Structure 1
Amino acid sequence: MKLISVVTGCFNEEDNVDALYARIREQFERLPAYDYEHIFIDNASTDSTVARIKAIAADDKRVKLIVNTRNFGHIRSPTHALLQARGEAVIAMASDLQEPPELIPEFIARWEQGYRVVAGVKPSSAHTTAMTFVRRFFYATIGRISDTRLIPNFTGFGLYDREVIEIIRQMDDPYPYFRGLIADIGFAHAEVPFVQPRRSRGISKNNFYTLYDMAILGITSHSKVPIRLATMAGFALSALSLLVAIAYLIYKLVSWEQFSVGIAPVVIGFFFFASVQLFFIGILGEYIAAIHTQVLKRPLVVEKERVNFSPVDE
């Protein structure tokens, strides 16, 4: 029997882990030709999430648990869990039930057709119109400026062949932009569309900072356009400033007595160029921060404990 690994990251999801486990188990009961393991990785939840998963794992040895020493974030923690999976294929999904386990049979069917990557894409969702617009705008923007073609409306939910997981392991990226890595690897992929439902239990752990962090990580990891735009804008604004200075000089020489510059153009020009400089210094800082993270080479997570992992797994 082929072993399929299902990996779900969680943080304070006490209201969802039982239902998630039951729905995943139900899908594999309909797939008798496959065995599976379900790996939860918990980012140091402060509610009863860990206790609930341990109770599930006590009754079902296919359920495994990794508990982190602290919250290592929604980027590093799921990637670490993927690298611990033993399956011939690995399915990654969130634990908030907004990525439906009912797509698992279709993922496996497309994998059996020869696709090493099967991506769950969400062309539409039950989110607010404003949030949907923001997401589409971001995906469209990063898709245009990226060095590699990213999968539109793809957030990481999908199935990955063992070969893909081993390539990611070799990359050894301490802060990976996962959907960018998948595009960078370059395997032909299948897309399975779905409508993302609203969260029915608990509250979202995403906020402005986490969304901004993900966006900046995607841009700095897979595009040189912003930093080159800064260079080109610097040349363009320097040329414009020189032309304006020459024009003012000529105007002053021609109309020496009548021409008076005044303070307003000086103040406006000062604040304009100061804001432009600060903006591009910020872009430069983001790239330097990304390099700094790569150079540190810290582990993805530090584990506190494991449940139901055999010595061979560890």
Structure 2
Amino acid sequence: MIEAPFISVVSPVYGCKGCLEDLVDRIAVAITPLGASFEVILVDDASPDGAWARIVELSETRPWLKGIRLSRNFGQHYAIAAGIENARGQQVVVMDCDLQDVPEEIPKLLKALSNDVSVAFGQRTERQDSTLKRLGSWAFYKALSWLTGVKQDHTTANFGAFDRKVIDTINSMPERERCFPLMVKWAGFRSAAVPVSHAQRTLGKSSYKFSRLLRLAIDIILSYSDKPLRLVVRMGIIFALMAFTMVILSVFRFIHGDIQVAGFTSIIASTWLVGGMMISCLGVVGLYVGKQFNDSKGRPYYIISERINE
């Protein structure tokens, strides 16, 4: 039986074929001085640029490099799930493949792990992203903090080092909707934010377009917070009180002769307003029901079609 490595590095791959050799070699150079055995797991999330062939080629001369190919594009967080569920190390590093997460910072993250600290997130103090992307990230995490009641940090993402017990806990969570950093934070293990460098993207373009980011944000909010449902109940109560107040006011004005004929405009306006609110509330409830329907199917959240060096 092959002895398990002490360190596992997991990276989901999508649209970054050109930088994979640089990625794995820089990871090896960064970890080798630590004197610990290691493995690098690249998870091909059906990358459209033929990344799998490149992973196979690189693995032929690097026995510590392992590859997992998903049957189709499942998404970044599902690719991470596939990687960490197949990682064997006592310490696991998760990072992106585009080299914006700097491999040379891995020893710093691993050093931050101790008996007291089980999670070391890389804190990007100077993000090398566009202003619009940074602003969108800040707004999303602020909204998510309010909705979930758990403080979120927009300067941290997937990049980090995690103790084995943290990875085992995340792997044991049965929910289909996966968001790796939120699941880690929910688990509640003691964590540290380690300032790390953040590089500019040199190859390819981000696959997260606005529509995809919006869909991801909605999925995460619905999966990790029930506050939208509670907001719907509050809005219903507020509108009911407003309607009751308007009825009392109208009766009072009618008794005093201020109203001779009921206004057509006010009736139409109130009908459209209440109707729109009811449809919106049903839509929110429907989204939650849809999530439960998908979970009830019990389908796997990723499917592996090929492996190398396993």
Indicate whether the TM-score tops 0.5: yes
Q: Aligned runs of 1:43-58 on 2, under 5 Å?
A: 43-58=45-60
Equivalent in the alignment of 1:21: 24
The SS at the match of 1:6 is strand
Rounded to whole Å, the distance in 2 between the matches of 1:208 and 1:254 is 55
Contact 2:19 2:99 in 1 (8 A): yes
- Alpha-carbon distance, 1:84 to partner: 0.3
Q: Once the two structures are superposed, what CA deviation does each residue of 1:35-80 show, in whole Å capped at 9, x if it has no partner?
A: 1100011112232211111111001010010111111112212112
The SS at the match of 2:121 is strand
The SS at the match of 1:126 is coil
Rounded to whole Å, the distance in 2 between the matches of 1:122 and 1:278 is 41
- Alpha-carbon distance, 1:2 to partner: 6.1
Equivalent in the alignment of 1:183: 185
Rounded to whole Å, the distance in 2 between the matches of 1:148 and 1:292 is 26
- Alpha-carbon distance, 1:174 to partner: 2.1
Q: Once the two structures are superposed, what CA deviation does each residue of 1:90-123 show, in whole Å capped at 9, x if it has no partner?
A: 1111111121112101011011464211111234
One-letter amino acid matched to 1:270: T
Aligned partner (choices 11, 17, 21) of residue 8 of structure 1 = 11
Q: Larger deviation: 97-106 or 259-268?
A: 259-268
Identity of aligned residues (%): 25
Rounded to whole Å, the distance in 2 between the matches of 1:93 and 1:308 is 20
Q: Larger deviation: 144-153 or 273-282?
A: 144-153
The SS at the match of 1:90 is strand
Q: Once the two structures are superposed, what CA deviation does each residue of 1:146-181 show, in whole Å capped at 9, x if it has no partner?
A: 144445532222111111111122222222222221
Q: Once the two structures are superposed, what CA deviation does each residue of 1:7-42 show, in whole Å capped at 9, x if it has no partner?
A: 0101222122122112212212332x2111000111
Residue 301 and residue 229 in structure 1: after superposition, are their counterparts in 2 closer, same or farther (change >3 A)? same
Contact 1:77 1:300 in 2 (8 A): no
CA RMSD across the alignment: 2.1
Task: Verify: 1:196 aligned to 2:217, yes or no.
Answer: no
Contact 1:175 1:293 in 2 (8 A): no
- Alpha-carbon distance, 1:261 to partner: 4.0
Equivalent in the alignment of 2:264: 263
Stretches of structure 2 that go unaligned for 5 or more consecutive residues are none
Alignment TM-score, normalising by the size of structure 1: 0.90
Q: How many residues align?
A: 307
Equivalent in the alignment of 1:278: 279
One-letter amino acid matched to 2:304: E
Rounded to whole Å, the distance in 2 between the matches of 1:75 and 1:102 is 23
The SS at the match of 2:37 is strand
The SS at the match of 2:204 is coil
One-letter amino acid matched to 1:77: A
Contact 1:143 1:152 in 2 (8 A): no
Stretches of structure 1 that go unaligned for 5 or more consecutive residues are 310-314
Residue 112 and residue 286 in structure 1: after superposition, are their counterparts in 2 closer, same or farther (change >3 A)? same
Contact 1:39 1:81 in 2 (8 A): yes
Contact 2:68 2:306 in 1 (8 A): yes
Aligned partner (choices 235, 242, 246) of residue 233 of structure 1 = 235
